[in-house]
């Protein structure tokens, strides 16, 4: 599966549904971003049930600002509309696969309880 380009117009719609969305915040001038791109693309091909999305931080500065992206690449994981992971730095292939496994294994009922508890 090819990656999806996220913009301010389609971001909310893409990440608010059921399932897993991985988001790569990147820029064309960023060497580590370019090195991470093929790893991310391979993972997207290996996991067709996951939405792999990319945010060009140069073109989408408001999105980068909204999520306080200070370093790129930054990988963010959203499951069932809830951000469950965000970390700057290019992940090696094994680390990205491990992250995907951990996200799949999350007990989302427990995550929702924790989010509700933190909100009150």
Residues tagged active-site: 30, 33
Other C-beta atoms within 10 Å of 96: how many? 20
- d(C-alpha 29, C-alpha 46), whole Å: 27
Question: Cβ atoms within 10 A of the Cβ of 25, count?
Answer: 25
Count the alpha carbons within 13 Å of 104 in the hemisphere toward its beta carbon: 10
């Amino acid at each position: 599966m090819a990656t999806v380009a996220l913009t301010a117009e389609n971001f909310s719609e893409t990440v608010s549904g059921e399932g897993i969305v991985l988001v790569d915040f990147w820029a064309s001038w960023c060497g580590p971003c370019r090195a991470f791109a093929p790893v991310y693309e391979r993972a997207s091909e290996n996991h067709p049930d996951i939405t792999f999305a990319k945010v060009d931080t140069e073109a989408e500065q408001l999105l980068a600002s909204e999520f306080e992206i200070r370093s790129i690449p930054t990988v963010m994981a959203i499951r069932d509309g809830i951000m469950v992971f965000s970390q700057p730095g290019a992940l090696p292939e094994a680390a990205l696969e491990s992250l995907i496994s951990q996200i799949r294994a999350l007990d989302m009922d427990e995550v929702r309880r924790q989010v509700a508890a933190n909100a009150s």
